[in-house]
Every structure is written in C-alpha cells, then in structure tokens.
Structure 1
Amino acid sequence: MLLISLVSLIVYLAYNPNTQHYNRLSSISLLFISYLAWECLNLQYTNITLFNDWFKYTPGNSPIVILLLILVLSLLLYTTIINKFITNNKWIALLMIINLIGLVLLPMVNDLIPLYVVIELQSYSLYIITGVYNKSYNATRGAILYFVTGGIASVLILLSSAEVYHETGLTNLNELSTYYLFNSNDTIFNSFNILIIGLIFKMGLAPLHSWSIAVYSYTPTYITAYISIVAKVSIMSFIYINIALFNSQILLLSFYLSIIIAAYMPLYQVTIKSILAYSGILNFGYLITAVVLADQAYYLYILQYSLTHILIFYCILAIGSYSIKPASQWSPIVNVNELILNNNTLIIIFIICLFSLIGIPPLPGFYGKYYIIVALMDSGLYLESLGIIIFSVIATYYYAYIIKQLATNLNNNGDKVLLNSTISLLISIYIVILISLYLILPTLLEGLTLLLN
C-alpha cells in the first residue's frame, strides 16, 4: 500500500502543484494504511515471511510498524496548515513516505542483504529531508554532516555483513541465530560487533553521538522533530527483535556512556534543540537495557517516548509560529530563554511533557522507567537499575531549567495568543492520551502479552 500511495502521489504532484492539498492527501493515505496495519494484527498468530524469507511480519514487529506509521502521520499533519515562517516544501511529504518505506521494512528485515538496502533507503531519504530547505545555510550544512557520518556507519554495516557471509556462508538472520547456538567462533561475533557499532553510530548514541547534536541544532525545528524520533525508533526496534545476534556487553557499554554523557552535558547547554537531543540519547540509553533483556517493557517505553517527544516538538513549533521576534526563519525558537508565549494552556501542556520525561507519576514516563527498573532487578542487574535512578535525578536539573523558563510566562498579562485550530486539535488529542494513558495501562500490557505470546 505504501508503494501504491507513493506512485499515486507522484502522479498527483505532477498535475497539481498545490502543496497543502498534496500534504492533506498524503495524510489521508497514511491514515488508511495505519488502519490496514491495525487490522493486520489479527494475523499475528502465525509468522508471515515475504520475498524468500527476506522479510518477516511477526507479533514482535507489528506494534512497531503501527507506531512508525502513526509517528510519520502525526508529523506530516503539521505540513497541512499554513505556517508563519517555514514555507511548505512540495517534496517533503513525498520524501517522508519514501523514508517511511525504509522505516517500516527495517524491523521486518530477516536477511543481511536487504538489511543494508533498507538502511540505505531510509538513510538517503533522511539526508535529503535534512537539507530539503536548501535556502537555509545551516540546513545544508547539517545535511552534508549527516551524509558524511551516515556514510561511515554504512561502511561498517556493509563490512560486517561481508565478514559474516565470509565466515558462515549465510545471510539469513534466523539461520545465523541457529548457527550461533552450535558454534563459538570469535571471528563471527566480532563481525556482528562491527554491525552493532554501525547501528549505534546511525542512532547517534554515545560515544558516537557528537554528530547528532550538531545535525539536530543545524536543521529547522520541524526537520529536527522528524529525524530525532523516527529513525532511532526503527533501528532500535531492529536490534530488539534480533538481540540474540548481538553482543549485549557492547550495548551495555553504550548504555553507561549514554546516560552519563546525556545527563551531564545538557547542564551547560542553553539551546533547546541541543538539550532535547541529549534527552533523546538519555532515553534511548534507558531503552538499551530493555533491549538487552528482550523485555516487553521496551514497547511501553518506546510508546511513551514517542508520544512525549512528538508533543514537545508540537509545543515548540506552536510557540515558534506565534513568536513576534523569531530567532530565524527556520528555527524561531533557539534558546530556552526564547520560550515566551501568552498562552497558559500551551505552557502547562509543555510542562506536563517535561514532568513525564522526569518521571513524575502518573505520567507515562514514570511507568516506562518503573517497568524497565523492575525488569532489571528481576534479572539481577542492580547496578544498571541504580544508574537509571541516579542519572534520572541529575537530568531533572536541566528539565527544571526549561520548566522554570516556561513557568515565568504564566504571570504574563500580555495579549492572548490563539493557536491554529488544527494544531490545537492535535495537541489536545496527544495531551489527553498522555495524561490518561495510565488508565489503560493494564489493558495495554495484557494486550502486549497476548500478542507476543
């Protein structure tokens, strides 16, 4: 369906240059595809393989596919309105759908050959999305940096795949898992160690994270929202589904470095996107522990992370769209002290999102950390549990810095600002889900247990 939608949209764009109509049609198409993916959950009691076992659609990756579709749909909906600063680009929806094909296929990959092809499909479309607003010098700069660093990671992935095939003569991931049960060749494990390093590089986790901070800061805020969420979710889900192939010690090393660096470095940052970039590294550092344990807490944490960060970026975009003195055309809000708005409702929503990241109950961020810590303690990983608690407390300081700036606006008696009706509706839906998620949490966990077992 994604391919059919892509071809249809290309034909439509050739005859109708209206960007808003095109983006709305793309959104309707993704909404229908999301509905089809939801209906396909009924098929998950048997594994479905495609193209000679190159791809598999299983109970493990089906929730991720639906989540990725909803994430891209949520971000695409922002382009259906008239923005005050960033002019809608007619190629952005088309590029997002091309990228979505790679995002959806990656968790379903079951062979090293399509793995490299799919990763490059999503990577190259992300490079173009990063620089799609080429009139911005910083966006072009960020796209070039993203391309260079992404190319290095791609070389590592290709090298690893070639070495694994050279040692085993196999490329199918299921067959490789079986092969590992009866062989303990260190060369094979070293080859997959190179692969996991390449994937960590792609996600921008510590210690290979510096490029991601620069790229997120250079690109327009809307593009930052896209590249900082969807690509990480897709790659981390692939690692989670195929964790039996990877060295958990390398992942745990990345976990320790990520939470230490991402909790400490933002204390000296004043730019909002840099702080959120480190926040993403911190949250995916927590998520690594659920991946290592192959625990279903992974699904709950990835859900709350995606929901919270989508809402945060919507709030930043809403504040920036109504700024009287924007910092730039592409990123109206740059520094934390520019988070100024005469709309108490939007400010409170932003603060609630930050409370969720801190882990204040009964918000989803608390339950995400709680279930990961419980899973770690059940497995005897007490040091990792303690690390999450300690560095969560340290990270509270830079979240509190943003909350303090937002709270000062609550007493602002200037002219009230009204938001666009579409943005208001989207923010309202997301905040209701965020606040009330704990009510359906038992049902959600029961559903995941039934689906995965």
Structure 2
Amino acid sequence: MIFISILILIVAKALISSNNLSPVLYPRITAIIFIYAGVLTFNTLYIQSIGSGIGIYSGLFHITSISQFIEGFIYLIGSLILIAWPILVLQPKTIDSLRTSTLFVGSEDQSKKNKNNIPVSLLAFYKSNYFAEYSLVIIFSSLGASLLVSSSDLVSMYLSIELQSFGVYILATLFRDSESATSAGLKYFLLGGLSSCIILLGAGLIYSFTGLTNFESIYSLISVSEFNYVIQGLSLGLTLIFVGFLFKIAAAPLHNWSPDVYDDSPTIVTTWLTIMPKISILILLLELYTQIGSGLYTTIENLNTINSVSNLITSIIPFFNELNTTVIIKNLLLISSLLSLLIGTIVGLAQTRIKRLLAYSTISHIGFILLALSINTEQSIDSLLFYIIQYTITNLNVFLIVLALGYIIKNSIINYNNSLSPLALSLISDKGREMSQQLKDIKYISEFKGQFFSNPLLSLSLTICLFSMAGMPPLIGFFSKQFVLYSAMQSGYYFIAIVAILVSVVSASYYLKIIKVLHTDPLGSDNINEKENVIKTSFQELKSSAYLPNQKGDVNTNNLSTISASFPYPLQAKETNKEQNSFSVKNVNLLTNFHSFLISSLTLSILLFILKPSIILNITQVLSLSLFNF
C-alpha cells in the first residue's frame, strides 16, 4: 500500500505542474494514505496465526502481533504530524491587494506574475514549495520504519534502517534555503552514517562467525552450539548492533548530535525526528533482546567451562575473556539508561532554547525506556510498550502546541503599498522562503512569555503536557514512570530505580521553568498605555533599520524575522509618510481547525487517562504476553 502510494505520488508530481496543483493536497493525500494503511494493518490482527508469527519474503520479514500493532501506530502518528504543516489560503481581499500592488518596477518585473496577476516573488510569503517533498520523504521514512519492526534478517534489518535514516536525513535539510537546517542535516547525515557503519560491522561479524543472517537460524544455532568462539563472536557482533541503534535513538553517551540537530532543524521536522525513528528502533531492539539475546544468555550460562577465544577477538576486545558475556548487553543497556537519565536531566537544566530542552527531555525519557528493556520481564515489557505510547502522545502534543503558538505569535504578512528598488525586490525574492520559515519557528523559551494572557487555552494545554512529562499524578506520564520503576524494584534494580526517581524530581524544575514563563506578564506591568508605547517605539526602530534603503537603494532584510517576534500582542501598524516605502504588518492565522481539535483531543487523553486506563493497558499486556508465550 505504502510502496504503491509512493509510485503514484511521484508520477503525479512529474506529470502535473506544481502551479496547477495546490500544494495543500500533498499532506492531505499523504495523511489519508497513512490512515488507510493503518486500518489495513490493524485488520491483520484478526488473523489467528498472527500470534506465533508469519514469515514472508523467504524469511526476510516476520509478522507478529507486536510488529503489526506498532506499524499501525506509526501510520496513525504520521498522519497526525502531517496536519501540523501550515495551510495558507489567500483570501479574496488579499488577492485583490496583491494584484494591484505596485511592488514591481519596470516592464520585466511586471511580467513576473502568476495566473491571478500576483507578483511571483511576493508569493514567497504565502506559498511554500516543500509540501510535495515533505510528504514524499515522510512516506519513504515511514516505509522503512514499518519494514524495520518486522525485520527477521540481518540484510532486511540493515536495508530497512537505511531507508528510514535516509528519509530523516533529507527531512532535516528540507528547507535548503536555511543555513541552520542545512547544517543540521549534514551533521545528522555524517553521524548517522557512522552509526550505520557500526551496525553493518556487527552484522558482518555475526555472519563471519555463524554463516547465517536469519534471526531464527542464528537462534537455533546458538541453542545447540558447543563452540564457545562462535558464541563470543556473536556476542561482539550483537553488541555492536546495539551500540549502533543506541546511537540512532540518541541514548547517552551517544547523544551529542541530537540537541544540535533538533535545534537547527525546522520545528515541523523536529516533530518527526523526535518521535518516529525511535519507535521502530526500540521495537527492533525489543525483538532482538528478548529472542536472540535470551537464547544466547541461556546457552552461555549452561557452559561449565570457558574455552579460549580466537586470537582475533582477544586482540580486539581482551576484556571478553574477563567479563561474563551473559551480562554484556544487559550492562550496556543499564549503563546507557543511567547516563541518559543523568545527562538528560542535568544538562537540560541549563538550556534556554526550547527545542534543545525538549531534546534533553527526550534523552531522559529514553533512559526510562532502556531501563524497562534491560529488565526483560513480562511486566517490564508491558511498561516499555506503555511508555512508548504515552511518550509519543505527549511529545507529539507538545510540539503541536509549540507549532501552534509559533503560527500565532511569529507569522506576519508584509504588505507593501509603494514601490521598492529593483535590488531590494530581488533580495526579498531570493530570501522569501528562508524569512518565512524564520517567522514560523520559536527558538527560545523566553518567547513564550505572557502567552497565557493572549492564548490561555494553548498555554493550559502545554502546561498539562509538561506536567505529564514531569510525572505529575494523575496524568498519563506519572503512570508510565510508575510502571517502569515498579518493574525495576520488583527485579532488584534498586539503585537505578532510586536514581530514576531523583532525576524525575529534578527534571520537573525545567518543565516548571517553561510554565513560569508562560504565565509571566510579558512586560511586567498592567499599564496598557505603557505597553502600547513600547510596542510603537519598538516597531518604528525595527522598521527604520529593516526597510529604509541606503544610498545605493539596498534594503536591509536581516531584521525582517525580528519584527513580529518582538511583539507579544497582535500588531498592525502602517507608515504614514507617503514619501517613504510604506507597508503594514498583519498577523496571519496559520492554525487550522483540525490542528486545534487534535491538540484538544490529545490533551484530554493525557488529562483524563485515569478515567479509562484499560484501553491502553489491555493492549500492552496482551502484546507483552504474546511476546513471551510464542
């Protein structure tokens, strides 16, 4: 279904001119494709033999109830993320004002108009060229994620993770006119390529020692093998694969790339990067750890003597002879979990940029997930699946609210009433898309200041989500952490459970910092006249520095993105001097009705989870039981 949809969209984009097809259709069509594919995926759960698993494509993929549920969940979340893209529709009055605009000077510039007789370069503020690319790349990445959760072979595993990774690399650089987005995508590509090399090295070691690539065949070989060097080589290869995947999900100490990439990428792209790639990788690690890992550990524990290892492994990793290989991967997960909890909390306290703070928050949540994974019991796997679901819902809602506030606070349309110089016009045309994107993104936590007074419902929704992420009862985030900590205490992991409790308390401080900024008066004064004077003064200063041409006729466009960001309230001002280039700044509401409905629905699910918890809990319990019983 997804593959056929990719082919259809590519052909449609090639045959139909982008000027004749509204770019709004691409995310809507993609969302419908995801919903339909998700329904088909959930429909396969009615197959009776799905519990024990069904092998397809000569054993390259293994369909189970967990893989199908997660695949449908990925499609559902993907369709919800697509609705966050701003949809700009020109109103008739706006079209008339643009059609009669004297922005272009000269016959050559006057000819550069579209079918509505609107200057082409002015549409840079209204129309984005990234709808089709964004939708296609998202479908490619989702296809790789759905294949990864069902992978049952080293070959299919590597191809699936690369298909997913290439998609997110392109997403990070999607806004190619933005220098920060290009830098983020390049950094993501280089470090992601390094992690892929580690995964490929681990897969090569496993194949060199066993001659097999299928997971089930490797598991069967381990269970009957009497040669210790085979098991040791397999342990090394499996460890490298886990390290590569921990790198991709930004688990500490392999996390340094994620705050930079998330902060430099556009917020709409960061929403995808923080959620979708992690779900499929965590489910694959769950399958590997519970199936291959468990069989490997049992076999090693039954060995009465430890034979000598091959000289190759001894020279590369000498501590394999000293440590008990039964706990190598478990210790790897526990150490990564502990470091993720500590680094994600402590370093997050010093952040002033919202997306960097949310990146460290994600690292802290990864610590809880890896703790549940390392315990490897029915109860811990149940808590792991529940934590993934609640983390996805809460994190998605946080980014949807951040995007919504960005659309409300920082988006403005600049309408010019008199002509500009040709050179100034060319500058606006070249940088239109970049400036439009800068206007949409919220970078700093301080930009939320006073939003409770102008946007109370969105501020309350964000407050509820942040309290849930901090683990405040009776929100859904509290129960997810409670289940993980309870399973850790039941299995005897007292130290790391205590550390997790402490970091949860500490991490609440930087969530409360955002809440405090939201509910702080933006100007620290209740005098309305004083606020209006400050706004008018700031507007005149910014306008004079940003738009008045110099002696050469150039216009400084560097301060364009700061105009609407500097005003906490909707602003409309107009130049009265007819001799100068006059313009007006008007806020444009890019927040759609369905975007608002989705925020309210997710917020209510987080807030009212305690009233009907059985829906999610029953699903996770059935999935965890099916993993251990089949």
TM over 0.5: yes
The one-letter amino acid of 1:87's match is: S
Shift of 1:447: 3.5
CA contact (8 A) 1:323 1:332 kept: no
Q: Distance in 2 between matches of 1:288 and 1:100?
A: 23
Shift of 1:312: 0.3
> Does 1:309 pair with 2:395?
yes
Distance 1:123 1:253, change over 3 A: same
Q: Distance in 1 between matches of 2:289 and 2:607?
A: 32
Q: Distance in 1 between matches of 2:168 and 2:608?
A: 33
CA contact (8 A) 1:81 1:422 kept: no
CA contact (8 A) 2:205 2:236 kept: no
Q: Distance in 1 between matches of 2:194 and 2:240?
A: 12
CA contact (8 A) 1:20 1:81 kept: yes
Cα deviation digits, residues 276-315 of structure 1 (max 9, x gap): 0000010011000111233211111001100001000001
The one-letter amino acid of 1:423's match is: H
Alignment correspondent of 1:207: 253
Q: Distance in 1 between matches of 2:127 and 2:281?
A: 29
CA contact (8 A) 1:86 1:329 kept: no
Query: Which residue among 88, 93, 116 is the counterpart of 2:158?
Result: 116
> Does 1:231 pair with 2:282?
no
Cα deviation digits, residues 30-55 of structure 1 (max 9, x gap): 11111111212212334111111111
Alignment correspondent of 2:286: 240
The one-letter amino acid of 2:87's match is: I
Q: Distance in 2 between matches of 1:85 and 1:231?
A: 31
CA contact (8 A) 1:260 1:391 kept: yes
Distance 1:32 1:307, change over 3 A: same
CA contact (8 A) 2:27 2:83 kept: yes
The one-letter amino acid of 2:69's match is: P
The one-letter amino acid of 2:279's match is: V
Q: Secondary structure at the match of 1:321?
A: helix
The one-letter amino acid of 2:213's match is: T
Q: Distance in 2 between matches of 1:35 and 1:325?
A: 36
Q: Which has the larger radius of gyration?
A: 2
Cα deviation digits, residues 150-190 of structure 1 (max 9, x gap): 11111111111111000011111122223333445322211
> Does 1:133 pair with 2:175?
yes
The one-letter amino acid of 1:356's match is: S
Distance 1:324 1:19, change over 3 A: closer
CA contact (8 A) 1:258 1:282 kept: yes
Shift of 1:88: 5.2
The one-letter amino acid of 1:420's match is: T
> Does 1:442 pair with 2:618?
no
> Does 1:52 pair with 2:42?
no
CA contact (8 A) 2:386 2:620 kept: no
Alignment correspondent of 2:128: 87
Q: Distance in 2 between matches of 1:276 and 1:234?
A: 20
Distance 1:136 1:80, change over 3 A: closer
The one-letter amino acid of 2:614's match is: P
Alignment correspondent of 1:283: 365
> Does 1:251 pair with 2:333?
yes
Q: Secondary structure at the match of 2:55?
A: strand
Q: Distance in 1 between matches of 2:287 and 2:366?
A: 16
CA contact (8 A) 2:144 2:163 kept: yes
Q: Distance in 2 between matches of 1:263 and 1:61?
A: 31
Structure 2: gaps (5+ residues): 90-124, 294-328, 413-434, 529-567, 571-586
Query: Which residue among 321, 328, 332 is the counterpart of 2:441?
Result: 332
Alignment correspondent of 2:577: none
Query: Which residue among 73, 95, 99 is the counterpart of 2:79?
Result: 73
The one-letter amino acid of 1:271's match is: R
Distance 1:352 1:76, change over 3 A: same
Shift of 1:432: 2.0
More helix by share: 1
The one-letter amino acid of 1:29's match is: I
Q: Distance in 1 between matches of 2:410 and 2:186?
A: 31
> Does 1:422 pair with 2:597?
no
The 5 Å alignment of 1:401-412 reads 401-408=513-520
Q: Distance in 1 between matches of 2:464 and 2:170?
A: 34
Query: Which residue among 241, 244, 257 is the counterpart of 1:198?
Result: 244
Of stretches 76-85 and 47-56 in structure 1, the one that deviates more from structure 2 is: 76-85
Q: Secondary structure at the match of 1:49?
A: strand
Query: Which residue among 456, 459, 467 is the counterpart of 1:347?
Result: 459
Q: Secondary structure at the match of 1:380?
A: coil
| Normalised TM-score (structure 1) | 0.94
Q: Distance in 2 between matches of 1:268 and 1:80?
A: 31
Shift of 1:259: 0.6
| Normalised TM-score (structure 2) | 0.69
Q: Distance in 1 between matches of 2:175 and 2:411?
A: 21
Of stretches 254-263 and 21-30 in structure 1, the one that deviates more from structure 2 is: 21-30
Of stretches 136-145 and 169-178 in structure 1, the one that deviates more from structure 2 is: 169-178
Shift of 1:436: 2.3
Q: Secondary structure at the match of 2:437?
A: coil
Q: Secondary structure at the match of 2:207?
A: helix
> Does 1:361 pair with 2:476?
no
Alignment correspondent of 1:22: 26
CA contact (8 A) 1:267 1:397 kept: yes
Instruction: Count residues in correspondence.
Output: 453
Query: Which residue among 193, 216, 221 is the counterpart of 1:179?
Result: 221
CA contact (8 A) 1:111 1:171 kept: yes
Q: Secondary structure at the match of 2:66?
A: coil
